[in-house]
Amino acid sequence: MGRFHRHDDGTVHHHDHDHEGHTHDHAHDHGHSHEHGHHHDHDHDHDHEHDHAHSHDHGDHSGYATGRERIEVLEDIFAENDHCAAHNRDALSAHQVCAINLMSAPGSGKTEVLRRTLEHLAGTLRCGIVEGDIETSLDADRLTGLGAQVSLLNTGNGFGGECHLDAPMVAHALKGLDLSTLDLVFIENVGNLVCPAEFEVGEHAKAMVISTTEGEDKPLKYPVMFRTAQAILINKIDLLPYLPLDLDTLVTNIRQVNPTAPIFPVAATTGEGMDAWFEWVTATAASTATSPGSAPAGTAGAESTEDTE
């Protein structure tokens, strides 16, 4: 997975090979559960010696008879993932636990957003974290000790590591959390601005973080994540005086692909603007508790704190 994607109309587009992920649990002594995604690569080397100068087309060695057959296989993979995601959502809803899938590019500050959020919600909502990274427990370690249960998913060991979490991975990670004692689970996806938005994992709502350092054009160049998010945080606004970024233009570009999601300009390191995000999270969790079988509306919770358009 990760070498293909589907568009808004559900069609699948293929880019390269597919590597299925297999996860298993590892016990660690640093206070949180830890899972690794294992991916099996298969090398197909074809050595051809030719004494003549003309070129040869060696054809498609993928094993699929036609492009249509390949697409059907990929559609089946997505369907299987969606089926598993529905089971994840049902398991969470059965315990009246809300799950928020937090996505972003690497370095946007979503771990710091989560750290601030956990500190604010302590004593109010009982939280769990599914922490996704290709390698290391660095982000999980940052969130440990804040009153939340943390279940770590490493997706490495494949062709560069999976660039997203999928529903089967999250199903394994949820086994590391005691859902009966939780109200809210944050799923911190792997840092990537493309793939995570294409895979349902069983969440009730999607939220994303974009930082001011990423530029104004990202919503237009990579629209899928912005389009699917039900809340959008613009992080690192404390850096605006030092950046050639116009906040109004960034908001306008976001609105071109997502007219309705609340937008929260924040500085997670200082706490500026975070209160409105906290209100949205609390309202989203409450909405799931009262209607556990369905995802909350994209505008649930506080209105956007910005009105820069």
Residue 261 has pLDDT above 60, yes or no: yes
**Amino acid 2: pLDDT:** 42
By the 8 A CB rule, do 233 and 257 touch?
no
Residue 54 has pLDDT above 70, yes or no: no
pLDDT band at 36 (very low <50, low <70, confident <90, very high): very low
Nearest CA to 260 out of 217, 306, 208, 304 is that of 304
Residue 64 has pLDDT above 70, yes or no: no
Residue 296 has pLDDT above 90, yes or no: no
**Amino acid 73: pLDDT:** 74
Number of H helices, E strands in the chain: 8, 11
**Amino acid 12: pLDDT:** 56
Residue 146 has pLDDT above 70, yes or no: yes
**Amino acid 15: pLDDT:** 45
**What is the rounded CA–CA span in Å between residue 188 and residue 155?**
13
**What is the rounded CA–CA span in Å between residue 266 and residue 305?**
9
Domains of the chain: 4-39+72-290 (3.40.50.300)
Positive or negative, the CA dihedral 131, 132, 136, 138 is negative
DSSP 296: P
Average pLDDT over residues 76-94: 94
Average pLDDT over residues 78-94: 96
The stretches of 95-185 forming alpha helices (DSSP H) are 110-121, 138-143, 167-174
User: Chain-wide mean pLDDT for the chain?
Assistant: 81
pLDDT band at 156 (very low <50, low <70, confident <90, very high): confident
**Amino acid 28: pLDDT:** 38
Q: For residue range 105-141, list pLDDT tens digits in order.
A: 999 999 999 999 999 999 999 999 999 988 898 999 9
DSSP3 helix / strand / coil % (the chain, rounded to 5): 35, 20, 45
φ and ψ of 131, to 5 deg:
-105, 110
> DSSP assignment of 156-181, as one string?
-SSSS--SS--HHHHHHHHTTS-GGG
Q: For residue range 210-243, list pLDDT tens digits in order.
A: 999 999 999 999 999 999 999 999 999 999 999 9
Residue 62 has pLDDT above 70, yes or no: no
Average pLDDT over residues 149-161: 78
